[in-house]
């Protein structure tokens, strides 16, 4: 007998929810379905509920009513970072599974509270690392671990963009700043390519125009991994669009560029013994695989990958980077160990979603 799809409420109807999350349900119909929308904007609720044929809509004040309505099994939290803990813990207490946008939260303490709540109330908790399901990145992981590149030595990445003035990502009290929003991709990529955790980090921040009153414009980072492996990256909210990473070994290297985008295809250039081969990966829907994987974990009572530990480790690293920037000193780390890492078994590909007309929201970037 075919099981009913897992019913989701999408909490927060900002840009990422409207252009990526909501359209992705068109690819998940047998696994996950969109059952409710939560937002304080009545126009968004009205227009989007009609567009996606969603009967149930709620304000944030009515969130607990939504959770206890019997109409949903899970939430996809797409709120500002500072609200992730509150809305995740409330869902867990109601017995509702939680798929939360990254970063998992603003502090490690918040991440641990979310994990404890999920464990206590026996619900699944997953952090939305969409690239854990994306073929280009997973193929690069496989190649890096195969020995073809030799002993892995260096990781280097750049992720920059121009953020629109007034965007929530420029507000410290909402958990904004480039390390939380885009630096997390670089951190996570270094970790899944090295299959290890950094033992020491340093950060330098600076620059800025009138947009950057409470958060840094840019951060340059050095992370030291076991076996003398080094990872460096720079992220910025005040530079032209760039997204790439290199993983370099004793015999070869791979450059993925663009590396972290969810619109358009990705390209990997593999250089071995001076010869370069370029492979282009088709554009796809990177959000549907997350929904499908999470729904499968709920149905089969399995631990999601990426789970709460994955989210916690990245936030611990970001906290240490901010501490290093404040003190001007490297920060030693002792991080949890992960039993599982992303690999090709997670690979899924669906065609790109149709472009969705945004309702009362704009792209965060210029």
- Residue whose tokens read 């885009």: 182
* From 129, 185, 192, 262, active-site residue: 185
Task: Please say if 58 is a catalytic residue.
Answer: no
Closest CA to 150 of 252, 61, 42: 252
Strand 6-11's sheet: what is its strand order? 56-58, 32-38, 6-11, 74-77, 97-100, 125-127
Query: 189-192 — which CB contacts under 8 Å span 24+ positions?
Result: 189/131, 189/137, 189/155, 189/157, 189/245, 189/259, 189/260, 190/155, 190/157, 190/223, 190/225, 190/231, 190/233, 191/313, 191/314, 192/132, 192/137, 192/141, 192/341, 192/342
- Give the pair of three-digit tokens for residue 174: 């909402």
Asked whether the beta carbons of 179 and 322 are under 8 A apart, the reply is: yes
Closest CA to 201 of 366, 33, 288, 327: 327
Closest CA to 313 of 127, 120, 175: 127
DSSP 333: -
Query: 109-113 — which CB contacts under 8 Å span 24+ positions?
Result: 110/84, 110/85, 110/315, 111/85, 111/308, 111/311, 111/312, 111/315, 111/316, 112/312, 113/85, 113/89
Task: Please say if 102 is a catalytic residue.
Answer: yes
- Give the pair of three-digit tokens for residue 135: 């073929």
* From 44, 58, 76, 102, active-site residue: 102
Cα-based angle 287, 281, 142 (whole degrees, multiple of 5): 85
In whole angstroms, give the CA distance from residue 58 to residue 290.
24
Closest CA to 243 of 272, 217, 278, 267: 267
Backbone φ, ψ for residue 271 (5° rounding): -115, 120
Active site residues: 102, 185
């Amino acid at each position: 007998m075919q099981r009913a799809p897992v019913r989701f409420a999408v909490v927060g109807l900002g840009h990422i929810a409207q252009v990526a999350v909501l359209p992705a349900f068109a690819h998940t119909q047998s696994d996950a379905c969109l059952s409710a929308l939560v937002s304080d904007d009545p126009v968004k609720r009205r227009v989007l509920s009609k567009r996606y044929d969603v009967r149930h809509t709620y304000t944030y004040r009515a969130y607990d009513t939504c959770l206890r309505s019997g109409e949903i099994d899970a939430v996809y939290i797409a709120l500002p970072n500072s609200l992730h803990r509150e809305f995740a813990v409330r869902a867990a207490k109601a017995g509702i599974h939680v798929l939360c946008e990254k970063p998992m939260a603003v502090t490690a303490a918040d991440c641990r509270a979310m994990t404890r709540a999920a464990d206590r109330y026996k619900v699944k908790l997953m952090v939305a690392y969409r690239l854990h399901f994306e073929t280009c990145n997973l193929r690069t992981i496989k190649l890096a671990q195969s020995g073809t590149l030799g002993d892995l030595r260096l990781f280097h990445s750049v992720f920059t963009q121009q953020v629109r003035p007034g965007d929530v990502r420029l507000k410290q009290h909402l958990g904004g700043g480039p390390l939380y929003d885009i630096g997390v991709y670089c951190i996570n990529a270094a970790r899944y390519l090295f299959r290890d955790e950094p033992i020491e980090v340093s950060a330098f921040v600076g620059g800025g125009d009138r947009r950057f009153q409470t958060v840094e414009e840019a951060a340059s980072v050095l992370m030291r991994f076991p076996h003398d492996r080094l990872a460096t990256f720079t992220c910025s909210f005040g530079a032209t669009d760039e997204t790439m990473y290199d993983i370099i070994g004793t015999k070869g290297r791979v450059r993925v560029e663009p590396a972290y985008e969810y619109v358009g295809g990705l390209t990997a250039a593999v250089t071995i013994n001076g010869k370069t081969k370029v492979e282009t990966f088709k554009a796809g829907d990177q959000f549907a695989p997350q929904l499908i994987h999470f729904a499968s974990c709920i149905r089969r009572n399995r631990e999601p990958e990426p789970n709460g530990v994955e989210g916690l480790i990245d936030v611990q690293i970001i906290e240490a980077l901010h501490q290093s920037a404040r003190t001007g000193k490297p920060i030693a780390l002792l991080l949890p160990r992960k039993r599982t890492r992303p690999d090709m078994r997670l690979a899924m590909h669906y065609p790109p979603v149709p472009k969705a007309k945004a309702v009362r929201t704009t792209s965060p970037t210029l």
